[in-house]
Homo-oligomer: A and B are copies of this chain.
Amino acid sequence: MAKKRKTGRPLSRERVLRVAVTLADRGGVEGLSMRKLGEALGVEAMSLYKHVANKDDVLDGIVDLVVGEIELPVPGGDWRATLRRRAISAREVLLRHPWASLMMMSRVNVGPSMLRFVDATIGCLREAGFSYAVADHAWNAIDNHVHGFTLQEMSFPLAPGKYREAAQAHLPMIPADRYPHLNGLAQEVAAGRHDGLHDFEFGLDLILDGLERLRAHAD
């Protein structure tokens, strides 16, 4: 009669990882433990180890799952537009999974989605005429910006309503006499002149323009 212990569906690496992602989405990775993960699946912690090597395996797994959500760059078009689109898609995904940026920067990632993703990216750049070396740098430069910016964006909330309180919380630490320039910037920020996507694309275009100039020059 298939009296499964608690939940109907059987466990599987697939299912474990998917639940791990949603658990990390609320609560962050640091709040994700094997026991909580087990509980969320209606299962004891140790049972997970039948489907997953260890916690690091889980972490690698959920990162690759998230990478899989990013729109793959398709070759054949304008390289600049393609990579621009890629970066914006990545940012969207990373905002959905606020814990992911850090993990993608901190750990070597060689999951299948990641490999496919990077391969496609390098493909686009090679197709555009970049050397392997420059393609490598280009890809890194873009992704550093994507992750770095998104990280900052999340730790300093850009939602218009949050400006004031965030600024008010931090301003006392930045007296104008000691840190004149920082203070000036903080007030600019508190005035609400910053805006997520626009600012993101600003830095992105800085890099893309630089690359294009490099490419034109090399021809």
A206 within 8 A of B: yes
Q: Are B102 and A106 in contact (CB under 8 A)?
A: yes
If A105-B102, A144-B149, A148-B147 touch, does A118 touch B182 (CB 8 Å cutoff)?
A: yes
Give the number of times this chain occurs in the complex, counting copies.
Answer: 2
Range for the number of chain A residues in contact with chain B: 35 or more
| Residues of B with C-beta under 8 A to A148 | 105, 140, 143-145, 147-148
Chain A stretch 106-159: residues in CB contact (< 8 A) with chain B? 106-108, 110, 115-116, 118-120, 122-123, 126, 132-133, 135-137, 140-141, 143-145, 147-149, 151-152, 155-156
Q: Which residues of A contact B (CB under 8 A)?
A: 102, 105-108, 110, 115-116, 118-120, 122-123, 126, 132-133, 135-137, 140-141, 143-145, 147-149, 151-152, 155-156, 170, 173-174, 178-182, 184-185, 188-189, 193-194, 199, 202-203, 206-207, 209-211, 213-214
